[in-house]
Amino acid sequence: PTAVAPVSQYACQRRTTTENNNKIITDAFEVLAESYEFNEIEGPCLAFRRAASVLKSLPWAVCSLEATLDLPCLGEHTKAVIDEILQCGRAFEVEKILSDERYQTLKLFTSVFGVGPKTAEKWYRRGLRSFSDVLADHSVQLNRMQQTGFLHYGDISRAVSKAEARALRNIIDEAVHAIAPDAVLALTGGFRRGKEFGHDVDFIVTTTELGKEESLLPRIIRRLTKQGILLYCDYQASTFDMSKLPSYRFEAMDHFAKCFLILRLEGSQVEEGLHIAEGDSRGWRAVRVDLVSPPMDRYAFALLGWSGSRQFERDLRRFARVERHMLLDNHALYDKTKKEFLAATTEKDIFAHLGLEYIEPWQRNA
Ligand code: DGT
Ligand code: MG
């Protein structure tokens, strides 16, 4: 018999491509995780996310419960769901959630840009069930982000294609290099991991000269405004404090300067054409773009932190903390034993500090 290396409980010790051999099961787990999330039950939510992530990393399809015996992160509940799906092709518990009015409504509301679970819950408790309910209710105060979310709902809820991401890269690339000849631009997020489609396009932008990056985002924003392609902009200046220890909380946003944008993308700029609804003859679409601007000495941490997947990021931090007594976030890596920060200029440096084999971006689809 050939010895097969055991599957690690940490996503950062697994290689997970975009090819998922267990999609039926992982989709079911993700519905369960999201339902727990809507009900603010953190433990089982994370357990189902971890289990889904383990199954995504397998180069084979699970076709019996016995086959899962040596896999980590699968408890009683997850195994019962797997068993039911293997036997009947679907799980009763998942079907029940999918047909649940509260789940459906929260799912619908949170699909709007700027609407999180808290707001969705508030609207649901007010008896609102549809977008027209929300828009007709005079007691609902939409902020600017949510107003834009409703305005461009069709475009923003439609996936962004790789070709559209490439076209946006050209637009941003032209802008940053016109502003700063020493600008550094990197595609990050799902498209860096090789995904075919995404909900937005994420970029890291900075300058090789330290400190010069501070004026970069405001200048990019001004340029995009002049070009008439900026439909929405939420700019957050840097609150980065380099003396602070890395954060324990993953969900908290990092402190780098960033902007959440909606850009107008012309069909003529996209080689394969726009990814829009059939019969839509506008010739342009709105796309969500995130720009993050760390100082150059934090570039590797920011790139690693924004490349995702979320589960990969969660496990990198958990691995650092539990296995290495180190703290990792999007800004820095701190060794608690030596009481010192560990510098890095590349992602490989960070993996090396953590004593981890390097995982390529396209293997981080955990
Ligand atoms: P998608 O949905 O196709 O855009 O997929 P991703 O993987 O590009 O997801 P996205 O754009 O939401 O986020 C990209 C990465 O950026 C994500 O994997 C981790 C990081 N990130 C985004 N938002 C947060 C946040 O609120 N906190 C932290 N710590 N990281 C975040
Ligand atoms: Mg993204």
Verify whether residue 202 is a known catalytic residue: yes
Rounded to whole angstroms, the Cα distance separating 170 from 185 reads 10
Region 231-260 average pLDDT: 92
**pLDDT (tens digit, 9 = 90+) per residue, 297-310?**
999 999 999 999 99
Q: Which residue, among 366, 328, 365, has the nearest Cα to 350 in the 3D structure?
A: 328
**pLDDT (tens digit, 9 = 90+) per residue, 186-219?**
999 999 999 999 999 999 999 999 999 999 999 9
Give, for 262, the enclosing helix (H) or strand (E): strand 257-266
pLDDT at 2: 66
Torsion sign (Cα): 343, 349, 355, 359: positive
SS3 229: coil
Tell me which architecture the domain covering 304-363 has in CATH. 2-Layer Sandwich (3.30)
Cβ(329) to ligand 1 under 6 A?
no
CATH 1.10.150.20 applies to domain 101-142: yes
Rounded to whole angstroms, the Cα distance separating 247 from 256 reads 14
- Would you say 273 and 267 are in contact if contact means Cβ atoms under 8 Å apart? yes
CATH 3.30.460.10 domain extents, the chain: 160-298
Smallest CA separation from ligand 1 atom 18, residue: 308
Cβ(308) to ligand 1 under 6 A?
yes
pLDDT at 116: 97
**pLDDT (tens digit, 9 = 90+) per residue, 64-91?**
999 999 999 999 999 999 999 999 999 9
Q: Does residue 354 have a pLDDT over 60? A: yes
Q: Which residue, among 102, 227, 119, 98, has the nearest Cα to 172 in the 3D structure?
A: 227
Torsion sign (Cα): 222, 176, 343, 314: positive
* pTM metric for this prediction: 0.96
Q: Which ligand lies nearest the alpha carbon of 198?
A: 1
Residue whose token pair is 């539990």: 322
**pLDDT (tens digit, 9 = 90+) per residue, 86-109?**
999 999 999 999 999 999 999 999
Which whole-number Å values give the CA distances from 349 to 172, 193, 301, 333, 353, in the listed order?
A: 28, 19, 10, 11, 6
Length of the chain: 366
Fold (CATH) for 11-97: DNA polymerase; domain 1 (1.10.150)
Cβ(198) to ligand 1 under 6 A?
yes
Tell me 245's DSSP state: P
- Would you say 32 and 48 are in contact if contact means Cβ atoms under 8 Å apart? yes
Cβ(149) to ligand 1 under 6 A?
no
Which whole-number Å values give the CA distances from 106 to 112, 116, 125, in the listed order?
A: 10, 9, 11
CA of residue 364 to ligand 2 center, whole Å: 14
Mean pLDDT estimate for the chain: 96
CA of residue 315 to ligand 1 center, whole Å: 14
Cβ(190) to ligand 1 under 6 A?
yes
DSSP string, 67-91: GGTT-TT--HHHHHHHHHHHHHSS-
pLDDT at 263: 98
pLDDT at 313: 98
Q: Does residue 36 have a pLDDT over 80? A: yes
- Would you say 264 and 231 are in contact if contact means Cβ atoms under 8 Å apart? yes
User: What is the 3-state composition of the chain as percent helix, strand, coil, each rounded to the nearest 5?
Assistant: 45, 15, 40
- Would you say 181 and 212 are in contact if contact means Cβ atoms under 8 Å apart? no
213's tokens = 């990056």
Rounded to whole angstroms, the Cα distance separating 139 from 204 reads 39
Rounded to whole angstroms, the Cα distance separating 195 from 212 reads 32
Q: Does residue 339 have a pLDDT over 70? A: yes
Q: Does residue 1 have a pLDDT over 70? A: no
CA of residue 330 to ligand 1 center, whole Å: 12
pLDDT at 166: 97
Rounded to whole angstroms, the Cα distance separating 171 from 179 reads 13
pLDDT at 234: 98
Fold (CATH) for 160-298: Beta Polymerase; domain 2 (3.30.460)
CATH 1.10.150.20 domain extents, the chain: 101-142
**pLDDT (tens digit, 9 = 90+) per residue, 265-282?**
999 999 888 998 888 888
Rounded to whole angstroms, the Cα distance separating 153 from 181 reads 36
Say how many C-beta atoms besides its own lie within 10 A of residue 6's C-beta.
9
Region 247-268 average pLDDT: 92
* H runs (alpha helix) in the chain: 23-38, 42-56, 76-88, 92-98, 101-110, 117-125, 131-136, 144-151, 153-157, 162-179, 189-192, 216-226, 299-307, 310-324, 347-353
